[in-house]
Amino acid sequence: MGQTPSKYSDDDPGEKIHQLLSDLDFSEIKLIYEYFKNELIYIVKSIHVDCLLEFLSSRNILDKELYLQLRKDLEPFVFSEKLVEDILDAGKEAVIGFWDALYDSQLHCSSHNLYTQQRDVDKLGGSLMQQILLDVNGHPLSSELKEIQKHHRQHLLEKNMPRPSGSTGKNNLYVSDRYMDMIESQVRPSHRSSEHKLIETARKHKEYLQNYLETVPLNKSFSWCYRRKCAPHAVMVTGVPGIGKTTLLKKLVCDWANEKFYQRFSFIFFLRFQDLNKLEKISLESMILQEYPYLEDQLGNILQNPERLLFIFDGLDESNHEINFKSSQICHDIKQVGNVGAVVFGLVKQSLLKGCSLLFTSQPDKLVGMDISGFKRVLAIVGFLPKETQLYIERFFMNKALSDQVFSFLRENGVLYTLCYNPSYCWIICTLLSMFFKDQPTNDYQIMSSPPKTLTQLFAAFIARVLSNSSLDKISTRSLLRSVGWMAEHGVMNHITKFDKQTLAQFDLDMTSKLLPTLMKEFTSYPEPFFSFLHPITEEFLAALVHYIDYSPENLQRSLEKVKSYKNNRGDLFISFLCGLSDNTTRTILEPYLGDLSSDAAKDVFTWVQEYATEFQTLKKEKLLSIFFNVFEMQNKDLVAESLESFRKFDFGGVPLTPLDCSVLTFILQSCGEAEEFHLNGCKLRIEDIEKFAPALHTVHYLGLATNNFGDDGIMFVGSALKHPNCKICNLLLSSNGLTDRACSHLGPAISDNQTLRTLILSYNKLEGPHFGDLMTALSSPNCKLEELFLDSTQLTDSSCTTLASGIRNNRSLKILHLSFNYLIGPHLGDVMEALSNPNCMVEQLMLQDIVLQDEYIPSVVLLSKNKNLTHLKLSNNSLTGAATPYLRDLILQSPNLKEISLYFNHRVPYEDRRMLVNLRTQKPGLSVYID
C-alpha cells in the first residue's frame, strides 16, 4: 500500500501523512505513531466510532463486530486506548489505513487533536522524522559534556525520584505508580475565582469531559501553537493546589533523566521558587550553580547552545519576590547581578539565553492581572479522567476485585467521586476507604463503622487516622488541636496559607510535638522558614473543628458572619465543615481521640442555617448550590424540611452540575419530600447523573430535564420515577436529549399506569422507529391521564402515522398535541386526521406547523371539522396554494368550536384567498384567523 500512488487530491488534509508513512519503514512508523499516540486516543474517543470501524473493516484491517462488542464492554477511554494499540500491533498497512480512516470525509471528525496533529505534520513536513529522532536520541555532545550530562541526570533522579506518599503500610505507592497522565487544555486566566477552587475546578473538569477540549500531552508542550503561529519557547502550566503540577514536572525531569523523551534538551535545570525566595541579588549563572554546583567547570560550554536548554520554574505563586513580566528591570547577561524577578524576566523576554525553553507552574489566581503575554502557551491541568481515576485506584489497592468494589462505591457517592479528579484528594480517599474494603480487618476499623458519606466525614476520618497513630493522650492532643485550629481559623479568615515561627508562637503551638509534622509541613525560605498545612482543605477543616473543641458562641457567630460577607465565596468549605460537624454521628468519629465536642456549637450552627434559609430565594444558582452543599453536610433531613418549607421551586438550569451537586440536590429533594418545580434544563447531565437523581425524581411536580446528554439509557431512571407508587410528576420536559425511539420503550410502560403525568415534552429528539409504538400503546391505556404531548421536531414521518393514529384514537385525556416540524406527508396522514376527528377525541389544540402539508392532502385535514373539542389549529409554514382555499374555508366554517386558526407563511395562497379566509371571522363570532 505504501508504494502505490496516492488516492488523495492535493488539497486533501490526509495526503501528507499518508505519503509520509508510505515512504517509511515500520520501525520509523512506530516512532511517529508513538509520538502521536495520546492524541490518537483522544481522537478515537471523540469521533463517530461506527464510521471508523466500518472504514477499517472494509479494508480488512480489523473485525468490525468484534470491536463493536468491545466498545459495549469497555469504558470509552479504555476502548480508544485498546483500539489504538491494536492498530500498531497489526502492522504498517493497518497504521496507514487507520490514519486514512481518521482523515476520511465520511467521519466528519471535528476533534481538536486531529487538527493539531494535522498542523504538526503540515508544519514539520518531511522533517517530522528528524524532529522525533532528535527527541529520542538528542544532540551529539563532546565527551566532557557527555560525562557531566550523565552526572546531571543521576543528580536529578536522586532529587526528584518519587518517595512514598503517606503511611499505608504494605500499600505504599510511589508517585510514578499512582499518577497517570494529566489532562491539559488551552486556557487564559482572566478573573479570580468566585467559588471554592475545589468545586469550581470540578465543574471545569466535567465541561472538559463533555466538550473534548484540546489536550496537549507533556511531550508536546513546546510543539507548534496554531493560535500564536509559533512554537512557544515559554509555557505556563496552571492548576489548583494538589492537582499535580509539581508531580507533572518531576515526571518530566525523571523521564528526561531516564532518556525516555525530550532528549532535544541536552540539559534541564529544575528550580523552585520556594528555594529562590532566600536569594536577593543574583546572576543567572549563580542561580544555576547554587542548585547544581558540579556544573561549574562546564557551565560556559553548556550555555553556548541555549536552544538545547530547558529551565523549569516551579511554583510562581509561592514566590516572595516581585515577578513582573512587564518590568523595566531586566538582565541581559548571565553574569549580570539583579533581583530574582529581573533574571526570570530576562529569560522570558529572551534577553538572556535567546532560544532556551522555559516551563513555569502557578496557581491560576496568581496570574490574574499579571502580564503573561510572553508565554505563548498557557495550559491548565484539570485532573484525572474517569479512566485515570480507576487506574489510580487499581494501582493503589493492587487487587482488581477490591479496586472494583471501591470504584463502584465512589461512583455511587457523588461527593467523594467529585474529589477524585484531584490526585491529592484521591490519595486521601483511597487511604481511608482501605479501612473499610480490606480483606483483613485492622484496628483502623475502629475509626468508623461505615465508609464516609460526606466531605466532613471524610476529613474527620482522615484526622482521626492521623491521631490514632499518635502516642499523645486526649488532653495533649486536644491542646495541640486547639492551638493548630485557632491558627488555621486565623488563616481562613485572613486568606493566609503560610505561617512563620512567630505566628506559631503567637498561638502557643508546641513546635516540638511529634504530631505537628503530621498536620503541617515546613519549608525553608528567605528570610526564615514557614509552615503550611499538608492539604489546602485540611486548614479549613481544622479551622471549623476548633469551634467544637474550644466553643465560644461569640467567636462562632463572628466567624459565621465574616465568612458570609465574603463576596468571592472564600471560606465556603469552612462553613461546610462547621455544618458537617454539627452532625452527631460525624463528631463521634473524632471524640475517641479528642473527648467530647461541643453540642452547643452544633445548635448555634443549626440556628444560623435556619436564619440563612430566609434568604435562599434571592441567591444566585451557584451560591445556592454551595449553601445546599453545607446543608447536605449536616445530614439532618428534618432541618432541611423545616428550613425549606416555603422553598418549593428549584431552578439550576444552565449550571453544569457535578456528581457532588447531583448527590446534594437528591438529598435536598428527599428531605423536602415534595417539590413544585425542579429545573435541570441544560445542566449537561449524563447517565450517571440521572442515576443519582433517580431516588428523588418522583417527588417533583414539574420536572425539567431538557437539553442534557443522558440519552436513551438515562430515560430508564426517569421511567422508574414515573412508576413509583407515590409519583408526583405532572409535567415532564425531555426535549433535546438525543433520544431515539428506544427511549419510548422505557417511557411507554411507565406512562401506561401513571396517574399523575399531564404534560410530556419530547421535542427535538429522533423518535421515528419501531419502539415509537410503545409510547402510543401507553397513550391508548385507559389509565393514562396525559393531557399535553409535544412531539414537534421528533423526525416522525408518514411511517409513524398509523401508530400515532392508534394512540390518539384510543386516548380519552389528550387535549393538546404538538406535531409540528415533522415530515408527516404521505398516504397514512389521513389515519391521523381520522383519529383526531373521532367523536371521542378530546384534543382541543393541534399544532401542524411545517409538516410539508401540500394541497393533495388538505382534504384529509378537513376531517378535523368533525372534532367538537378542537379550538386551536396551527397550519403555518406549509406548502399550500390557492387550490387548498375551498377546503380551508370548509374546515373553518364546519368546525363547531374553532376559536383560532393560524395559516402564516403559506405564501402561495393568493392574496384574495387570504383576505377571504380572514373575513370568515365575520360569520363566526369569536373566531381568529391569522394569515399574512
Secondary structure class of 679 (helix, strand, coil): strand
- Asked if the peptide bond before residue 423 counts as cis, ω within 30 degrees of 0, the response is no
Pairing verdict, β 759-761 and 281-282: unpaired
Lowest mean pLDDT, pick from 100-104, 495-499, 545-549, 613-617: 100-104
Average pLDDT over residues 718-728: 95
pLDDT band at 612 (very low <50, low <70, confident <90, very high): confident
Average pLDDT over residues 702-721: 93
Angle CA(703)–CA(705)–CA(709) in degrees, nearest 5?
160
Residue 359 has pLDDT above 90, yes or no: yes
CB 384 within 8 A of CB 421: yes
Which triple of cell numbers denotes residue 914?
387570504
Q: How many CA atoms lie within 13 A of 825 on its CB side?
A: 16
Q: Where are the alpha helices (DSSP H) in 74-142?
A: 76-89, 92-103, 112-124, 128-137
Amino acid identity, position 360: F
Query: pLDDT of 124-160, one tens digit each?
Result: 566 777 888 888 889 999 999 999 999 999 999 988 8
Which triple of cell numbers denotes residue 77?
477511554
Query: pLDDT of 847-893, one tens digit each?
Result: 999 999 999 999 999 999 999 999 999 999 999 999 999 999 999 99
Residue 718 has pLDDT above 70, yes or no: yes
Residue 114 has pLDDT above 70, yes or no: no
- φ/ψ of 701, rounded to 5, equals -80, -50
Q: Which residue has the higher pLDDT, 677 or 280?
A: 677
Q: Where are the beta strands (DSSP E) in 243-288?
A: 267-272, 281-282
Spatial CB neighbours of 822, under 8 Å, sequence gap ≥ 6 = 791, 792, 793, 794, 795, 796, 797, 851
Percentage with pLDDT > 90 across the chain: 49
Separation of alpha carbons 527 and 332, rounded Å: 27
Q: Where are the alpha helices (DSSP H) in 655-736?
A: 659-672, 687-697, 711-723
Helices 26-35 & 92-103 angle (0-180, nearest 10): 40
pLDDT band at 81 (very low <50, low <70, confident <90, very high): confident
Separation of alpha carbons 416 and 461, rounded Å: 13
Secondary structure class of 675 (helix, strand, coil): strand
Residue 177 has pLDDT above 70, yes or no: no
Q: Where are the alpha helices (DSSP H) in 139-227?
A: 143-160, 175-178, 197-211
Closest alpha carbon to 876 in 911, 908, 902: 902
Residue 723 has pLDDT above 90, yes or no: yes
Q: Which long-range contacts (CB under 8 A, 24 or more apart) does 335-342 make?
A: 335/283, 335/284, 335/285, 336/283, 336/284, 337/281, 337/282, 337/283, 337/286, 338/281, 338/282, 338/283, 339/280, 339/281, 339/282, 340/276, 340/279, 340/280, 340/282, 340/287
Residue 546 has pLDDT above 90, yes or no: yes
Separation of alpha carbons 236 and 361, rounded Å: 6
Closest alpha carbon to 494 in 550, 604, 571, 561: 571
Q: Identify the pLDDT of residue 75.
A: 67
Q: Which residue has the higher pLDDT, 9 or 254?
A: 254
Which triple of cell numbers denotes residue 34?
508513538
Which triple of cell numbers denotes residue 787?
393531557
Q: How does DSSP classify residue 354? A: T
Helices 742-752 & 711-723 angle (0-180, nearest 10): 0
Spatial CB neighbours of 127, under 8 Å, sequence gap ≥ 6 = none
Which triple of cell numbers denotes residue 379?
495550559
Lowest mean pLDDT, pick from 404-413, 580-589, 889-898: 404-413
CA distances from 171 to 431, 608, 631 (A): 9, 43, 35
CB 238 within 8 A of CB 189: yes
CB 631 within 8 A of CB 668: yes
Separation of alpha carbons 728 and 719, rounded Å: 13
Separation of alpha carbons 333 and 135, rounded Å: 29
Separation of alpha carbons 106 and 95, rounded Å: 19
Angle CA(358)–CA(120)–CA(125) in degrees, nearest 5?
120
- Report the Cα–Cα distance between both ends of the chain, in Å, rounded: 63
Q: Is 296 exposed, middle or buried (0-12, 13-18, 19+ CB in 10 A)?
A: exposed
Separation of alpha carbons 726 and 237, rounded Å: 52
Query: Where does residue 506 fall: left (phi above 0), alpha (psi -120 to 50 degrees), or beta otherwise?
Result: alpha
Amino acid identity, position 798: D
Q: Identify the pLDDT of residue 421.
A: 82
Separation of alpha carbons 48 and 44, rounded Å: 8
Average pLDDT over residues 778-793: 95
Q: Quick one: fold of 185-381?
A: Rossmann fold (3.40.50)
Separation of alpha carbons 903 and 906, rounded Å: 6
Angle CA(435)–CA(436)–CA(439) in degrees, nearest 5?
90
- φ/ψ of 788, rounded to 5, equals -130, 130
CA distances from 175 to 58, 313, 856, 883, 905 (A): 44, 20, 73, 78, 67
Q: Identify the pLDDT of residue 195.
A: 46
Average pLDDT over residues 716-734: 96
Separation of alpha carbons 502 and 505, rounded Å: 5
CA distances from 248 to 242, 254, 587 (A): 11, 10, 37
CB 663 within 8 A of CB 691: no
Q: Which residue has the higher pLDDT, 752 or 173?
A: 752
Separation of alpha carbons 822 and 288, rounded Å: 71
Angle CA(386)–CA(50)–CA(180) in degrees, nearest 5?
20
Lowest mean pLDDT, pick from 480-484, 553-557, 710-714: 710-714
* Domain boundary assignment for the chain: 15-137, 185-381, 400-446, 474-605
- φ/ψ of 908, rounded to 5, equals -85, -5
- Cell 504498517 appears where? 92
DSSP 64-83: HHHHHHHHHHS-HHHHHHHH
Q: Is 226 exposed, middle or buried (0-12, 13-18, 19+ CB in 10 A)?
A: middle
Of all residues in the chain, what percent are helix, strand and coil, respectively (each to 5)? 55, 10, 35
Separation of alpha carbons 683 and 733, rounded Å: 13
Average pLDDT over residues 908-919: 93
Separation of alpha carbons 518 and 463, rounded Å: 9
Separation of alpha carbons 821 and 898, rounded Å: 22
The mean of the pLDDT values for the chain is 85
Residues facing 509 on adjacent strands: none
pLDDT band at 211 (very low <50, low <70, confident <90, very high): low
Residue 602 has pLDDT above 50, yes or no: yes
**Torsion from C-alpha of 895, 898, 900, 902, nearest 10 degrees:** -30
Spatial CB neighbours of 615, under 8 Å, sequence gap ≥ 6 = none
How many CB atoms sit inside 10 A of residue 188's CB?
9
Secondary structure class of 164 (helix, strand, coil): coil
Separation of alpha carbons 428 and 195, rounded Å: 23
Most confident of 225-229, 290-294, 325-329, 533-537: 290-294
- φ/ψ of 320, rounded to 5, equals -90, -15
Residues facing 879 on adjacent strands: 854
